[in-house]
């Protein structure tokens, strides 16, 4: 069996060198349905600030943290237990396996695997309501720092390390793509009502975003590559990669010489969100009976200035990386180029590349059950339209929430990638919001810990509604 995990070792070494400060996160779906979320929900629906009962809303800071994968796991552990745990890697020779041990980092025994992770740090942002020619408008300004990466259906070569199968001496590694981006956004949001007839209303919202790219990576393996393992008197060792055709590009704001991260722009672009919401309004209750929203999010891309490399040449021996101290992605590219072409600069083919934003479609349906009680359904489907686009996670979410002036709370059931069942909850108490779309792994030991989610926010808003858009409630029951 392998002592090292060949492809995984190379990929993670590259990622960790390029992105030493990356976070992992996802969307606060439940809280985004809260009518008091205001500007905090603008990333999930550009019409959401329009339904805020308050005239103004300020987000101080908010962070959403999520990771989901079906490639690797840690056995019998929770997120809060990680700092105190002695986590070991799978090792069949010492009988260290996730299925039999505690706190073992092991691999799913599946032919294919993948992962999603993202981070959304919402910085100082605000929205306010005003009338223009007797028509209600809501304007907002928001700042965000986002991190996201994903890979779908990559051959799970590492599973060979945790099974008692016979040694595999020739392995086909099918074509795959993976990418990663760390970027900032400064956006403006506008929403207004464009149609009203009796109790039916139509609200249009949109956000225009200036994108600032800090870090990016994309890898495209175009061929079915072959991994040939060599054999000595004791066991099969790391092998040789043949028949490969790989494009790799990166840009980073990390200074490897000073070992310091600077938010230095390496790319720029534009993005946009568009949303349309249909409402059945109840004048007597001063609230909607139901609303249906359709949104297209993250339309756009970022152009980067970095390095593009192409590798296609003589067989590559993974053992050539053993014992090397690699301190930067540029140094890694030089080593690989030397091994493949005999020239440390031969693999470099250009400097410009682009990565598309994680374009997706979001459908939301919300029904008021009774005063302050709402049943919500959300469906997010990724829809990448640009070259090298990031892949957002697919989500189906059903939630029930209570939304009052100072207090809000709710619970949800989600299906990530339409297959992984997760339970979520949130609490809004005055200016503080905390929650999770997948709270069980945070505090309860999981047989196979492979996902987690947590988010929080601090907001400033008036605790007394003064929304002049509301008519006075009638005492009659007409």
Whole-number pLDDT of residue 429: 95
Task: Give the model's pLDDT for residue 374.
Answer: 97
How many Cα atoms sit within 13 Å of 133 on the Cβ side?
Answer: 2
> How far, in Å, CA of 58 to CA of 189, rounded?
14
DSSP string, 242-307: ES--EEEEEE--EETTTTEE-----EEEEEEEEEEEEEEEETTTTEEEEEEEEEEEEEEEEEEEEE
Bridge-based pairing of strands 125-132 and 254-255 is unpaired
Cβ-proximal residues to 478 (8 Å cutoff; 6+ apart), any chain: none
Condensed to tens digits (0 to 9), the pLDDT of residues 94-103 reads 677 777 778 8
**Pairing relationship of beta strands 104-107 and 88-89 according to DSSP bridges:** parallel
Can you tell me the distance from the alpha carbon of 457 to that of 435, in angstroms, rounded to the nearest whole number?
A: 9
Q: What pLDDT was estimated at residue 476?
A: 42
The reported pLDDT for the residue numbered 25 is: 34
Radius of gyration of the chain (CA): 25
Q: Could you tell me how far CA 337 lies from the centroid of its own chain?
A: 32
Tell me, what's the pLDDT at 166? 47
Q: Who's near 21: CB < 8 A, 6+ residues apart?
A: 254, 261
Q: What is the pLDDT of residue 231?
A: 54
Give me the residues of the chain with pLDDT under 70, please.
1-27, 92-94, 157-169, 229-238, 463-478
Write the CB contacts of 342 (distance below 8 Å, at least 6 apart in sequence): none
**52-70: pLDDT as tens digits:** 999 999 999 999 877 777 7
β-bridge mates for residue 209, sequence order: 187, 271
């Amino acid at each position: 069996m392998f002592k090292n995990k060949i492809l995984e070792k190379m990929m993670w070494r590259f990622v960790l060198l390029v992105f030493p400060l990356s976070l992992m996160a996802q969307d606060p779906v439940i809280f985004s349905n809260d009518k008091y979320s205001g500007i905090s929900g603008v990333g999930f629906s550009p019409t959401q600030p329009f339904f805020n009962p308050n005239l103004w809303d300020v987000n101080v800071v908010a962070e959403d943290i999520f990771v989901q994968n079906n490639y690797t796991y840690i056995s019998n552990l929770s997120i809060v237990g990680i700092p105190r745990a002695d986590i070991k890697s799978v090792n069949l020779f010492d009988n260290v396996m996730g299925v039999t041990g505690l706190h073992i980092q092991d691999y799913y025994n599946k032919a294919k695997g993948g992962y999603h992770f993202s981070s959304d740090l919402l910085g100082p942002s605000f929205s306010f309501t005003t009338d223009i020619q007797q028509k209600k408008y809501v304007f907002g300004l928001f700042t965000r720092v986002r991190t996201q990466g994903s890979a779908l259906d990559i051959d799970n070569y590492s599973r060979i390390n945790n099974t008692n199968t016979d040694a595999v001496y020739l392995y086909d590694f099918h074509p795959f793509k993976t990418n990663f981006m760390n970027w900032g956004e400064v956006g403006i949001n506008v929403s207004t009502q464009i149609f009203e007839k009796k109790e039916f209303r139509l609200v249009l919202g949109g956000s225009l975003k200036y994108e600032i790219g800090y870090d990016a990576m994309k890898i495209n393996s175009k061929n079915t590559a072959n991994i040939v393992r060599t054999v000595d008197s004791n066991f099969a060792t790391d092998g040789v990669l043949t028949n490969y055709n790989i494009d790799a590009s990166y840009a980073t704001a990390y200074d490897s010489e000073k070992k310091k991260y600077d938010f230095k722009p390496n790319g720029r672009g534009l993005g946009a969100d568009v949303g349309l919401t249909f409402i059945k309004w109840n004048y007597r209750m001063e609230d909607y009976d139901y609303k249906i929203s359709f949104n297209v999010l993250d339309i756009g891309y970022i152009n980067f200035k970095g390095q593009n490399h192409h590798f296609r040449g003589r067989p590559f021996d993974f053992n050539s990386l053993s014992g090397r101290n690699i301190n930067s992605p540029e140094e890694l590219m030089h080593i690989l180029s030397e091994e493949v072409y005999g020239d440390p600069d031969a693999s470099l083919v250009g400097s410009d590349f682009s990565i598309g934003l994680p374009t997706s479609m979001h459908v939301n349906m919300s029904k008021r059950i009774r005063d302050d009680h709402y049943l919500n359904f959300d469906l997010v489907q990724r829809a990448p339209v640009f070259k090298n686009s990031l892949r957002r996670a697919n989500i189906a979410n059903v939630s029930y929430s209570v939304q009052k002036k100072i207090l809000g709370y709710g619970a949800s059931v989600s299906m990530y990638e339409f297959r992984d069942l997760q339970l979520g909850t949130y609490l809004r108490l005055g200016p503080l919001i905390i929650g999770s779309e997948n709270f069980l792994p945070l505090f309860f030991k999981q047989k196979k810990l492979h996902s987690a989610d947590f988010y929080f926010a601090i907001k400033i808003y008036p605790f007394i509604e003064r929304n002049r858009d509301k008519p006075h409630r009638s005492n009659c029951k007409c």
